[in-house]
Amino acid sequence: MTSDELSPEIGALLASLTEQAPSNDAAAVFAAALAARAAQPLQSPPIDTEVSAFARAIDDVHRTVEQLRTSDWKRRCVNGLNVGQLVGHLIGTQLSMAAELGLQATAATSTDHVESTRQAIADGAATTPIEAASQFARVSAVLIDHLSQLDSAGLAAPSRFGTIEGDIRFILMFRVFELWTHDNDLRAAVGLARVEPDADRLWMMTRTVMPLVGRMGGDRLRIVLTGPGGGVWPASGDEVATIAVDATAFCRRAANRMTIDDLQADITGDAAAARQTLGALAELALD
């Protein structure tokens, strides 16, 4: 079995069993034993599906929008949008996804992620938080009702979302990233605490993004993601560096919401190659 065929779970197990250098120093042996031991039991693969992960991401956004007030609507938020406009954008992305799945006609003429929702952005700015929460919930329910009826073959069917192409499972996980990111954009704008994905969502998010990281130069790196959703991805070619970083922080970098310095990644080996991949990681963000 080659390194690129190892699952991140097996990679984590092998990493925890790495042989340590012999020593007669009892304190050093004890410290090495603790360091080599897995920090927590390996996370089992989720028993639910990408549809469930998408539904929970929707629920998070809906709960946030329900907490917004009219006085929040014109607060500056992100990407030149205020709070009301960003909520409109999120409604627009749900409508776009419904159109891509053939659930309604599409009126979008642009493939740009933000421009394709420009009418929804304007509508969001003109509505109220209560009305927007209702609209978001209504179109989201249509999506979840349809997606929940798909079997394994249906979820494996080719689809697209704007310029993103892949099977429906892949599209759903990109949407999970987007909803989580913009949920926290909204929360930051109005002073609410961050919300993070549950462990099962993080597991699916990291497993979705890591193959893409490999194609961006990450195939030369050994990447260790710690905490829920973590694992070890060995280099598939000649290893030049190792990156160890929290899985949630890594996903925030992929969503273009965390700088490389704020990642607090532990890098050994070729730091320039590691930072180049971490820099490119933000290109995956939909924004």
- 199-220: per-residue pLDDT in tens? 999 999 999 999 999 888 889 9
Cβ atoms of 146 and 101 within 8 Å: the answer is yes
Q: Both tokens of residue 278?
A: 């971490």
Both tokens assigned to 9: 């779970």
Query: Phi then psi for 169, rounded to 5 degrees?
Result: -55, -45
Amino acid at site 170? F
Of 153, 172, 152, 165, which Cα lies nearest the Cα of 50? 172
Which residue type occupies 215? R
Q: What is the pLDDT of residue 2?
A: 45
**pLDDT for the residue 190:** 98
pLDDT at site 162? 84
**Distance of alpha carbon 81 from the chain centroid:** 21
Report the Cα 252 to chain-centroid distance in Å: 7
Strand partners, 81: 78
Whole-angstrom Cα distance, residue 258 to residue 278? 10
Which residues are within 8 A (CB) of 109 and not within 5 positions of it... i.e. 6 or more apart? 116
- Contact, 88 vs 117, CB < 8 A? yes
CA–CA distance, 206 with 227 (Å, rounded to integer):
11
Cα 120 from Cα 231, distance rounded (Å)? 39
Low-confidence ranges of the chain (pLDDT < 50): 1-4, 17, 19, 33-34, 36-40
- pLDDT for 110-167, tens place per residue? 667 777 898 999 999 999 999 999 999 999 999 999 999 999 999 999 999 988 999 9
